[in-house]
Structure 1
Amino acid sequence: MLNQKPAFFAKNLSLVIAILIIFGCAAIQKPQGGPRDLTPPKLLKATPANMTRNFNAKEVNLEFDEFFKLTNTYQEITMSPTPEKAPEYNANRRTLQIKFKDTLQKNTTYVINFGKAIQDVNESNVLKNFTYVFSTGPHIDSLSMSGSVINSTTQEREKDATVMIFPISQDSLLFGKKKPSIFATTDSSGNFSLNNLHEGTYRIYALKEASPNKIFDNDKELIAFSKKPIVLTKDSSNIRLALFQQIPNKFRVEKKFGTDGVLALNFNKRLASPSVKIIYPPALNDQKIVEIAKTKDTATVYMKNMDWDSISVAVFDNNKVLDTIYQRKQKKESFTRNLGFKYGINRDNRLKPGMDLSITANLPIASYEQGLMILKEDSTTIQNFTITKDTASTRTVYLKYRFRPGRKYQLTLNEDAFTDIYGDKNKRAGVNFEGDKQENYSQLTLKVTVPEPDKSYVVELLDDQKNLLRSDPITSSTSIIYKNYLTGKYRIRVVYDNNKNGRWDSGNVKQQQQPENIWLYDKELTLRPNWESEEPLAIPQEQVTL
């Protein structure tokens, strides 16, 4: 027995070590997760080399450091000058093969711009503004253009905008019809650079579009241009392009006839003095209700009498007919309506001191029953409130009461409290809110100095979400007082109102009309509780866009 014990322990010790080795090995795993790959493919080798002179090859091979894919190949990739037969692009694992199908011109610099076509396989990281350059002669064109692109209205740098140039001899033939052969995409700071350019005279544009065809073919796209052509004899820098949504050349109306029987008309541009008339059936015109948006680019038409199978509606501006639209329906067609409400309180559910509570329905109101409305103040029912109609809107009424700061209110609109023009009645609704305190509001006096007294300006107040709160046209140095504004952060924007119409006007490429310039005050203004403050605002001289 004494001789067996060491053998027994040795046997079991070997077993334990074997188990530990097995489980220890099983626990060793490749690390999971980790930071996301944000790096696009990188060129390792080009054959022939990039920037080759006296080029005479029939194909080019580009080797990258990782697997990649080509996206929108023949939309994104361009070759300048453009050959009659486009090259063939073949991606295979890490290598891109370019086969030329046409004879190359002698003594010419060629630039192949890949746009956003090259992306890695896993994360689709884009290799932006990658170019392959070569010359069939002893010289490579080396001139460049560089600058920045901003948004006209926000004055912020615009990333991922396409900056393009056309030789002036081809500008009218190509712009808006074919994609450019020379272009670059702005970086995250809105900067661009166009390189390996030949001497010549060019037109330059910037385009921010939803569909990446690099053609300005939609009025909703943002466009920028320079009035003056660029004569390129040396490097050109500090080019500034301001994007804008242009004023359409032709007026159009988009209509939407909802399941509630309301006709919504959307104009493709703002009008000066819009109006709407029902041409047929003529009897409908006198009983219609039309609401024109403050922006004067939409109109909503409510018709109490829905006993018709077709109508004709004309849109006017300054009493001149611009367009006529038609709408059909089944004569006895039924509609679904739900009478709902919005209330005149802020996003914190507070009512501004000294204000009545506005109640705005989604449909015009025909009548209301005050007895079916219950108002409570700190759980106590209030009797001495009144309801009055808004003389400027058929959808709004005001609940008048001496609301007290810091008190909590509950408004209940019982069923049938309101009836719309179609005879529909509301379901039970209501809102809880609080009477706001005066100390939560401030007063700001803006002491404005203008650079040129004979010109017009529009001073605009924006909230921290860049929403326009107030607009004040001025023609001379003055003080603008903002009373009872909530404490918080605000910005000031100034429009150089060249046509003196009291608002910002956009531009038009075809008419060579630039948008009106905007200056954004770089200081953020902070309004503190129960505080009156003054801020000097010296408007700078207008920076004219070329």
Structure 2
Amino acid sequence: MLKPFAFLLCSVAIIFITSCANQVSPTGGEKDERPPHVVKSNPRNLTVNFSSDRINLTFDEYTQLADPAAQIFFSPALDGKPQYRLHGKTFSITHLGILNPNTTYSVSFGNAIKDLTEGNIMLNYQYVFSTGSYIDSFKIKGNVKDVNGKSSENLLVMLYSDLSDSAVAKHRPNYNARTDKDGNFAVDHVKTGIYKLVALNDLNFNLLYDGAGEAIAFFDSSITISDTTGFYKLTMFKPYGEKQKVISAESHQPGRILFSFFQPTQDIHVSNMSDKNATGFLEYSFARDTVTYWLNDLISDSIMLAVSDKNFSDTVMVRMKKANTSLHVSLPLFSVKTIINNFQQVASQPIVIQFSSPIAAINENKKIELLKDSLKQTVNRLEMVTDTISNKRFIAMHAIMEEKKKYTLIIPDSLFSDVYGRFNDSSLVSFSTLEKSELGNLNLKIAVADSSNLYFYEFRNKAGDLLGKHTLKTGTNNLVFTSMAPGNYYLRVIQDANRNNHWDTGDYWKHLQPEEIINYNGDISLRANWDIDIQMNISGLK
């Protein structure tokens, strides 16, 4: 009788303990922020006379793999494709293939290895071995930025002992590394010698320069590696390519075709082979690799166009977007609007009028009127302005205005007609002018000490509108911008090596670096009733 009673007591006790435990919430501990740590490697890290076909790394905790084929890379690169396997706390790399004799290899892991619970990434660990009797210890460091000074992660940086230009296209590099998020790189464990230094946006991960589509950077001359102090700056650029071609020609709205070209164009000619009498209007993007073609044909299903430029010609068939009321596809309305910020205008600056489509004609029998109180002023001076940055159409309207006054602008109907033969509706805009105490002045001083190159400056507001552009002379250039609205402004100087007043990219095969773009790296923030002095020194190429 005692045994069943004892069993019953034990059961009750277990139920009681379990019940109590369920009523208490776990307090938990501090969040694990420690990445995995290698506690054992086989063969050992920094092994010489390496002959194994397998590398085993054992961690102090369970880990997970994240895209090892893309994240883990060998320098020099292996001929084959290694295999990656995770078993328990041990990570294995197998199928190393045939290794080069007397060569130091380094293995970097990127973001491939994380702990299992929190996803903490193992960073800055490198496994190194040599097939020879010693470990090479030389290294170089550097930085890669694009032409606008921006950095990218995981760009490929390569060293070649073959100094020929074709080496980057024919075979894999002797050593390689990847950039971090700031564009910095380090190529470690390099054998002393003379190398070609190249960086590449390797889109297909084949460690070769395939030309069009892949951005590239290169150091102008070969480099000699005999210590660990070398630091190299590279500028990444996307080349124009060898041959011009039309990438696409599409119609997304009636009467409008958008051309995309393989490289920038200077003077494209488009003729309508389907209708010799049809007329059109061309607009270039800022980079001049995209061109909008406005044409007055709104009914054709498709149009055959002949496109030509210097040393280039092509024909394209474009299926047109047609106006169709049943499908709710229509030509956008022809609109005219003024660009006046918060209904406030600087008295000394022109009023800007923006159009939704290109202007074909202005009716000289009609005038824009500007009213101040009961006084009426007729505006006679209209100046057409094109902004290739935003691909918009503008007219600058010059009028005599006083500070701190209220005005009403009257645009009569049918003053403007667009390329489709449509006329504008009448519009009325009321605004006030600012006084000098609400504005600021900018004094820009750009000193050019480099007499071997030509430069020009570009000055823009926060919206990207071009406020000034001009060639700079050698010496001091004083530029004054008065009565400017408060806000942020941007200044950059562009090298013009071929003196065409445009920025041009580089060409690896011709040993041409991209024309340098030098951005003013400080803040140009203008406040009301302020005068700001900005100085920029151009001493030559970086």
Establish whether residue 302 from structure 1 lines up as the match of residue 294 from structure 2. yes
Residue 265 of structure 2: SS of its match in structure 1?
coil
Q: Is the counterpart of residue 470 in structure 1 residue 468 in structure 2?
A: yes
Matched-pair contact (CA < 8 Å) for 1:69–1:120:
yes
Secondary structure of 1:245's counterpart equals coil
Within a 5 Å distance, the mapping from 1:133-282 to structure 2 comes to: 133-154=128-149, 159-168=153-162, 172-173=166-167, 175-176=168-169, 180=173, 182-208=175-201, 215-217=208-210, 219=212, 221-253=214-246, 254-272=248-266, 274-282=267-275
Instruction: Give 2:483's aligned residue.
Output: 484
Q: Distance in 1 between matches of 2:134 and 2:298?
A: 75
**Bigger mean CA offset, 428-437 vs 472-481:** 428-437
Q: Aligned partners of 1:135 and 1:224: how far apart in 2?
A: 29
CA contact (8 A) 2:455 2:471 kept: yes
User: Is 1:73 matched up with 2:68?
Assistant: yes
Provide the residue aligned with 1:118 in structure 2.
113
Matches within 5 A, 1:401-440: 421-422=419-420, 435-440=433-438
Q: 1:198 to 1:40 in 2, by over 3 A?
A: same
How far off its partner does 1:51 sit?
0.6
Alpha-carbon displacement from aligned partner over 1:349-403 (angstroms, at most 9, x marks no partner): 6433344543323223578999xx999999x999877698765679556678777
| Residues 79 and 113, structure 1, Cα contact 8 Å, conserved in 2 | yes
Matched, 1:497 2:489: no
Aligned residue for 2:352? Answer: 358
The offset of 1:71, in angstroms, is 3.9
Q: Give 1:291's match in structure 2, choosing from 283, 293, 297.
A: 283
C-alpha displacement of 1:534: 4.4
Q: Answer yes or no: is 1:63 the counterpart of 2:62.
A: no
Amino acid at match of 1:257: S
Q: Answer yes or no: is the 8 Å Cα contact 1:357–1:399 preserved in 2.
A: yes
Asked whether the 8 Å contact 1:310–1:326 carries over to 2, the reply is no
Structure-1 residue corresponding to 2:529: 530
In the TM superposition, residue 513 of structure 1 has moved relative to its aligned partner by 0.8
Between the aligned partners of 1:328 and 1:421, the Cα distance in structure 2 is 20
CA distances 1:125-156 after superposition (whole Å, capped 9, x unpaired): 654564321123321122211122233323x5
Q: Unpaired segments of 5 or more residues in structure 2? A: 1-15, 387-391
Task: Name the CA distance, whole Å, in 2 between partners of 1:239 and 1:331.
Answer: 51
- The percentage of counterpart residues that share the same residue type is 26
Write out per-residue CA displacement over residues 75-94 of structure 1, whole angstroms, 9 at most, x where no aligned residue.
44343455554332112354
- Residue 26 (structure 1) aligned with residue 23 (structure 2): yes
Question: 1:302 and 1:525, CA in 2 relative to 1: closer, same or farther beyond 3 A?
Answer: closer
Alpha-carbon distance change, 65 to 151 in structure 1, aligned in 2, over 3 angstroms: farther
Asked whether the equivalents of residues 254 and 322 of structure 2 are also in contact (C-alpha less than 8 Å), the reply is no
CA distance in 2, matches of 1:387, 1:68: 75
- SS at 2:468's partner residue? strand
Conserved 8 A contact 1:276-1:313 = no
Contact 1:247/1:269 (<8 A) preserved = yes
Alpha-carbon shift at residue 299 of structure 1 (Å): 2.0
**3-state SS of the aligned residue for 1:269?**
coil
What secondary structure sits across from 1:141 in the alignment? coil
CA change 1:325–1:83 in 2 (3 A) is: same
Output the CA distance in 2 between the equivalents of 1:408 and 1:222: 53
2-side partners of 1:76 and 1:367: how far apart? 59
1:27 and 1:257 map into 2 onto residues whose CA distance is: 67
AA of the residue aligned to 2:134: H
Separation (CA, whole Å) in 1 of partners of 2:28 and 2:374 = 65
**In 1, Cα distance between the equivalents of 2:533 and 2:321?**
62
Contact residue 255 and residue 265 of structure 1 kept, 8 A: yes
3-state SS, counterpart of residue 188 of structure 2: strand
* In structure 2, distance between residues paired with 1:389 and 1:466: 23
Q: Out of 299, 304, 311, which is 2:303 matched to?
A: 311
- Say which of 314, 320, 323 aligns to 1:324: 314
Provide the TM-score with structure 1 as the length reference.
0.76
**Cα distance in 2, alignment partners of residues 293 and 105 from structure 1:** 50
- State the Cα distance separating 1:180 from its structure 2 match: 4.9
Please name the residue that 1:15 is paired with.
none
Counterpart amino acid of residue 266 in structure 1: S
Q: Which amino acid aligns with 2:227?
A: K
Q: Does residue 99 of structure 1 match 2:94?
A: yes
Deviates more, 1:206-215 or 1:242-251: 206-215
Looking at structure 2, the residues matched to 170 and 220 of structure 1 have their Cα atoms a distance apart, in angstroms, of: 22
Could you list the per-position Cα deviations for residues 482-532 of structure 1 after superposition, in whole angstroms to 9, with x for gaps in the alignment? 233333444543334333333432211122211223444454444342344
Q: CA deviation at 1:39?
A: 6.2
Give, in angstroms, the shift of residue 466 of structure 1.
Answer: 7.9
Find the aligned partners of 1:332 and 1:487 in 2 and give their Cα distance. Answer: 45
Shift of 1:226: 0.9
Structure 1, unpaired ranges of 5+: 1-18
CA distance in 1, matches of 2:469, 2:105: 52
DSSP-derived class of the 2:457 partner: strand
1:69-120 CA-to-partner distances (Å, cap 9, x unmatched) read 4444334434345555433211235421112353545544333343444355
In the superposition, relative to structure 1, how do residues 192 and 361 fare at CA in structure 2: closer, same or farther (>3 Å)? same
Residues 491/503 of structure 1: CA separation in 2 closer, same or farther (3 Å cut):
same
> How far, CA to CA, are the matches of 1:232 and 1:399 in structure 2?
62
Q: Contact 1:179 / 1:214 at 8 angstroms: preserved in 2?
A: yes
Partner of 1:50, secondary structure, is coil
| Aligned equivalent of 1:444, options 442, 445, 450 | 442
Moved more, 241-250 or 422-431: 422-431
Give, in angstroms, the shift of residue 263 of structure 1. Answer: 0.5
Task: Report the alpha carbon displacement of residue 38 of structure 1 after superposing the two structures with TM.
Answer: 7.0
Matched with 2:82 is 87
Q: Which amino acid aligns with 1:271?
A: T
AA aligned to 2:312 is L
Alignment-mate amino acid for residue 527 of structure 1: L
Kindly state the Cα deviation for residue 225 of structure 1 after the two structures are TM-superposed: 0.7
Q: 1:426 to 1:45 in 2, by over 3 A?
A: farther
Output the aligned Cα RMSD.
4.6
Indicate whether 1:49 and 2:44 are aligned.
yes
Partner of 1:338: 332
Moved more, 222-231 or 306-315: 306-315
